[in-house]
Structure 1
Amino acid sequence: MVEQPANVDAAVNTPVVVDSNDDGTVAQELELEHMRSILEEAIVETRSTPLENRPRLPRIALSKRNRAVVRALNPMLVTYLEASRDLCETDSILFGAALAVCRIIGAKVSTAGRATGHSSAIPAWRRRIEERIAKARALIGRLICFRSGNNRPRIVRTVRMAFAGTNVSLSQPDITQKLTERIDDLKQRIAAWGKRIRRYTERSTRFNRNRLFQSDQKRLYESLERLMVSGTGPAPNQADTVAFWRGLWSEPVNHSEGPWTEDVASQCAGITPMEPVIITPDDVAEAVRRAPNWKSPGLDGLHHYWLKGFMVCHSVLARQFQEALNQKSLPSLFTTGITHLVPKDQGTTDPSKYRPITCLPTIYKTLTSILSARITCHPDSNQVMSRAQNG
């Protein structure tokens, strides 16, 4: 007890010896500070950006490095999430954190906005080959025009570019033969590129089917049995389509319920009412765990992967879900989406022959997943559903 103050003073006055491992610690702290600044910048940017102008988040690889970046940003979000006032602000914070991860790992983020930047279903390799084919066909047309006697300056300039790097001159006597050989060479290249597209397409189809067979055999067999609907047919009239679906969704309709509803109500009178739903962070974690990582998001552009990675948001989401249930209201963001019409029949122009598919935000899907699980666990849920179906 007497010697302890002396030992403390000696420890304080002892010069600090920097070990070689301290360089790694300092570098790690600097890297964390850099991540924190990127996170702050991304969250501020997301808050000031309209929803339709948010960039499209890419699907990142599930590598150790990417997971380490997500884990490093996870505790940094506590300060932002604790100050979140509602679900919309929480969604904005999570999107900003996801954007920060993409910038830290160097993933390519589209800056065109989600509303205007529609992704093409054609893969990039096919677009490149089709561009080569289009340029080759245009060049063949110019060469044929020059061979038939068209000497316009644009045609002559294109022909000279086609023979650049060779000893062929446009004034030599066998230029017609050289033009024919060049045209035949381009035609052979076009045929080879076409075969390459077919070969790559077949390989991609086999790969996707094999992967789908391993993950979901039912979907594979349904896709093989279902008639493939071509999108090259005539499209329905836009005014008719808007009028048809507006009549179903926007205009109020007075429904006349049948007498069966009273019978169902009397039969369900003896069913025990469901206890009030209490949402816990474990419920949110379980609902997020069951959801696919990269399922199509809603207008907010946030995937389930980020709800899984940023685990500190589970308690905040549970609290805000509970507040929404108690208040019986949700922000309009979580019940608004873009509806895509998928044709049921081939070559149809009838708006009623289309199936509407709407993608809603993943946070709303998480809430409905929790509620559906609670309703399914209710002891009388099957009885209620059977009576309603029989009625």
Structure 2
Amino acid sequence: MRKSNPRGLPAKKDKNNITSAGVSSLGLDNSTRTSIHDNPIAGNPTIPTNLHSLSAIIDDAICVSEAEWVSQIVYATKQRIGRIPRGGWNLIREKFNSKFSKSASLSQLKGMVKPMRVDNNYGSNCHQKQFLESSEISTFRKCLEELNIQIKNIESIPRDSRKPTPKIQNKYLKTDILTGLNSAIYYITKDNHPNDINSISDILYAAQCAYLSLTMRDKAQSTWVENIEKKISKLSAELEIVNSHSNQTLPPSEKQKVMDVLCRYGYKKTKKGELSRIQILLQDLIRINNKKIEVHNSRKQFRKDNQCFELNRKRFYRDLTKKEEVTLYGFDDEECVSFWQKVWSERNERPQSYDVVGKRTTCAEHMLPEFTEEFFGNVINYLPDWKACGCDGIYNFFIKKMESLHGFLCHEITRIINGEYMPESWFYTGITYLIPKKDDCETPKDLRPITCMPTLYKLVTKCVNVKLADFVEAFGLISDNQLGTRKYCQGAKEQALINQCLNKEYGNGLYSAWVDVKKAYDSVDHDFLFHVLDCSGIPLWIVNFVKSVVKKWAVKLHMEGRRIGSVKLNRGILQGDSLSPLLFVMVLDPLSRILNSVFPKLEINQEDPNMLTYSTNHLLFIDDLKIFALKQDTLLKMMEAVNGFFKIVGLEMNSEKSASNLESLSCCKTIDGINGYRYLGVLEDGGSNVLKNRVMDSIFENVKKRITMLSKTKLNSVNLFRAINEYALSLYNYYIGLINIEPSEFDDIDRQIRQLLTSLRLHLKPANKERLYLNRKALGRGLSSVTFKSELMLFQFLTSLENMSTICLRRAGILRVIKMNKWHLAMIAGFLSSKYAIIDKKSITMESLKSNQIQYLQKKLVLKHYILCFSNVWMNLMLIYLHPQNGYQWK
């Protein structure tokens, strides 16, 4: 056996020595030697020449910033070679990550490249050229021509009747067209500035239509399916004739026809079994063609499901639960419109005074609005791209991309807020979709109104809401009992925890009442809303803006895909923007202050009377109200105060959905020990004891139902497990920390989820269960572990409670009760230090905890006795990727 081939490649052990000798013979300095040793393609004769040219360009690039460094290399390479050579992006990525100490992916790297005009010092004449190629100029011309055409076309379309263009999936996005349209808008508005919000709306909608026109491809209607179906029909007819001939039931007139069919398939009369052979052949051909149609339909549904999931998650999840049965309506369109006109009509009886509202002075009443382009840019960046648009048909995505209009938008929004002019009626008109609550809608009250306001209106109210929220937070204009719109807190979860802690302090013996408001948003009196704003002490420009907006509210009613009428709102707070919840909370705030000032409060800590503790007599989350007292007569008086306030505001208690554990309270039903009442998502009995087993069973049934529905879709593996995490397993998020769930119970949940996946054939029983929870980059499946998620959420929640307990009595009270009762939430730090062998509990952070969880999975993988059966390639990649030195982070 030969030891080596003298004419072949050098042996592996001698490669480094030969490379070093070659570098020394060239007389290179130490820095150049180091770069050659670090260069993955240096000295490799199998590497194409273009990659060596690219390597030289990379070494010569000037480091200005990360994005410019990548752009320099890309444009210089395209200028010299014409394109990035095969394997070039991987080389650029390795050099980039090494130079800037990053771990960027190829998609992130490609996203850094941007068209620009930069004078650089690399190349002979590169600094004298501009990076605007002829193709980009051609694109700009096309965009400019199409944009001008669309601006003229949309003049005939009313602004309150513009249909939205199709949403764009990321993989089909044409960035060059968007850039061209943005440049075209800059060119058009350079000398002809938009003079109002109407002009800006026209330009944005024209840009959407222009993008659709420039990217739309006319596809010829395929007749492939029809042809296959005709072929199946023909084969079925032939099979029927052959079967009749075989059974000797064929009429004599059809004899020539059947012989033609038999001869077509090579019939030989002298050979036995020919009829059976032809029958089987025809049956196989029919099955084959049917299979073609099934595969076609399956692939079509595959593309449809994945595109809908990636582009419109809400619609995808909504379609999962959508039933095919036709909804029955017991009323006509006129009756429906009349009902909603009555709901939103002005009240006949008005209170003589609004004494329940106190006057506040904040010294901020005369402050002027201040909106900068930076503030406006930050608001735009956080807008959801494809949020449902209103009658203007404009998406936030195009508002973000058409940066040439941002300066004009900021100017016009400031003018509208300052009251310099009022936009036309379309600006304040929403589209209200009436969604049935059940299959058989007997009256219009069985419909749920969902309103979509114009996108530009939502942008204006978003700017106002940000400023209003700052004033409300700074001057404490909302009672501490209301956690509905409060910043930097988990409102519903903390409110539900306070409910449990307070009832535990009093042995679950408090008299309680749960109050539900009938059509709360739709019933608020406008005069009372204006009075609350006048007395709140907020700047006058906010008060005047809200008043001007509310007076112009109107909606177009749509049901079953058709418009049935229009309604002007003389009462109620129109939902559909970010400002509405805060206005409603301010309307209910006087009730909270009345209950706090008139009726006795209950304290969480009764042991030390000298300790300052959290005390309250009611809980309020938006319109979900719960009141409690030690005595029966106190609760009765509190309910009278609530009903009196509702009468002034125009609200009405829903006696069917309200409840109490006090039998003498006749205005609502009485809670027994069986049914219970669900407050803020937590089922509790008459003594406010949490019915934990029923809650957990209910959650798992919903999770099981959702996973089963997702398994029937055609989502690919990536999207399927992402959907399971988002749509199914996320149901546990709210209850982690809210209910005292033990670690073993979380393990049982994960086990039940795995069993469900196995039964649905999404996970095989002999497959590795640890790999389920690994990130897909580590060759895992990407499933969220409820156990790991609970550890992260509990640790983060406990840290938040501890950090804020010194300045927030509410959180201090929660922390004291859970520690006294030894909840798993209170002991989470010690549990984590024991499970993951962490010496110092105080050193635990979110990042270190994620790393420990990955190492925990890695150890369990290595300890598997059948680990040698796995692919060595997969194991090597997985173990290298999961190594802490590679900076792996759990996602």
TM-score normalised by L of structure 2: 0.31
Judge conservation of contact 2:208–2:398 (CA < 8 Å) in 1: yes
| CA-CA distance at 1:255 after TM superposition | 0.9
Instruction: Map residues 53-68 of structure 1 onto 2, 5 A cutoff.
Output: 56-59=165-168, 61=170, 66-67=174-175
Partner of 1:186: 286
**How many Å separate the matches in 1 of 2:298 and 2:131?**
54
Is residue 436–residue 448 contact of structure 2 (8 Å, CA) maintained in 1? yes
Structure 1 distance, partners of 2:303, 2:140, is 41
Which residue does the alignment assign to 1:6?
Answer: none
Could you tell me which residue of structure 2 aligns to residue 116 of structure 1? none
Which structure shows the higher strand fraction? 2
Partner of 1:354: 447
Per the alignment, residue 334 of structure 1 pairs with: 427
Q: Distance in 2 between matches of 1:230 and 1:150?
A: 52
Is it true that 1:97 corresponds to 2:211 in the alignment?
no
**For 1:26-52, what per-residue CA distance to the aligned partner results, in whole angstroms no more than 9, with x for missing partners?**
973674365145324323323323435
CA drift of 1:248 comes to 0.8
Report if aligned partners of 2:387, 2:395 keep a CA contact under 8 Å in 1. Answer: yes
Q: Is the 8 A contact 1:338 1:359 kept in 2?
A: yes
Preserved contact between residue 299 and residue 337 of structure 1 (Cα < 8 Å): yes
Q: Which moved more, 1:41-50 or 1:198-207?
A: 198-207
**Contact 2:162–2:392 under 8 Å retained in 1:** no
2:460 equivalent among 360, 367, 372? 367
- 1:342-366 Cα offsets, whole Å, 9 max, x none, are 3323x22334323233333322221
Q: CA offsets per residue over residues 24-77 of structure 1, 9 Å max, x none?
A: 7597367436514532432332332343576724415379x9445534543542
- The yes-or-no answer on 1:28 pairing with 2:133 is yes
Change (3 A) 1:201 1:128: farther
SS at match of 2:415: helix
Aligned-residue sequence identity (percent) comes to: 18
In structure 2, which of residues 215, 223, 230 is the aligned counterpart of residue 107 of structure 1? 215
Q: Secondary structure at the match of 1:312?
A: helix
In structure 1, give the amino acid aligned to 2:137: L
> What is the CA deviation profile of residues 370-390 of structure 1, one whole-angstrom value per residue up to 9, with x for unaligned ones?
122122111344244552454
Q: 2:151 aligns with which of 40, 46, 53?
A: 46
1:281 aligned to which of 365, 373, 379? 373
The change in CA–CA distance for 1:203 and 1:74 in structure 2 (over 3 A counts) is closer
**Separation of aligned partners in 2, 1:143 and 1:338:** 56
Which amino acid in 2 is paired with 1:302? I
Alignment of 1:374-385 (within 5 A): 374-378=467-471, 379-383=475-479, 384-385=586-587
Rounded Cα–Cα distance in structure 2 between residues aligned with 1:109 and 1:359: 30
Contact 1:102 1:109 in 2 (8 A): no
Instruction: Tell me which of the two structures has the higher relative contact order, counting C-alpha pairs closer than 8 angstroms and 6 or more residues apart.
Output: 1
Distance in 2 (alpha carbons) for counterparts of 1:54 and 1:301: 5
In 2, distance between residues paired with 1:40 and 1:100? 9
CA displacement at 1:289 relative to structure 2: 0.7
Q: Which shifted more, 290-299 or 48-57?
A: 48-57
Query: TM-score normalized by structure 1?
Result: 0.62
Aligned-residue offset at 1:257: 5.7
Paired residue for 1:302, among 376, 394, 406? 394
Identify unmatched segments of 5+ residues in structure 1. Answer: 1-18, 112-126
Match of 2:196 among 86, 95, 108: 86
Q: Which amino acid aligns with 1:108?
A: M
More helix by share: 1
Aligned to 2:552: none
8 A Cα contact 2:143 2:177, kept in partner: no
Q: Which residue of the other structure, out of 159, 164, 167, is the alignment partner of 2:264?
A: 167
Inter-CA distance 230–364: structure 2 relative to 1 (3 Å threshold): same
| Matches of 1:34 and 1:358, distance apart in 2 | 38
Q: Which residue of 2 aligns with 1:270?
A: 360
Q: Is the 8 A contact 1:297 1:360 kept in 2?
A: yes
CA distance in 2: counterparts of 1:144 and 1:249, whole angstroms? 64
Aligned partners of 2:303 and 2:209: how far apart in 1?
A: 33
Q: Deviations over 1:287-346 (max 9, x none)?
A: 21111122233333322121112222122112212232304633233333544333323x
Matched, 1:315 2:315: no
Structure 1 residue aligned with 2:589 = 387
**Match 1:324 to one of 410, 416, 420:** 416
| Alignment length (residue pairs) | 334
For the residue of structure 2 that corresponds to 1:342, the secondary structure is strand
Q: Distance in 1 between matches of 2:135 and 2:302?
A: 49
Unaligned segments of structure 2, at least 5 residues: 1-123, 245-249, 480-585, 593-644, 646-891
Looking at structure 1, the residues matched to 294 and 325 of structure 2 have their Cα atoms a distance apart, in angstroms, of 23
Secondary structure of residue in 1 paired with 2:327: coil
CA deviations on 1:165-201 (whole Å, 9 max, x unpaired) are: x93399x997898467535643565478658867997
Measure, in 2, the Cα distance between the counterparts of 1:370 and 1:77. Answer: 24
Seen in structure 2, the aligned counterparts of structure 1 residues 234 and 279 have a Cα distance that, compared at 3 Å, is same
Pick closer, same or farther for the CA change 1:374–1:300 going to 2, 3 Å. same
Which AA in structure 1 matches 2:382? Answer: R
Rounded to whole Å, the distance in 2 between the matches of 1:70 and 1:198 is 33
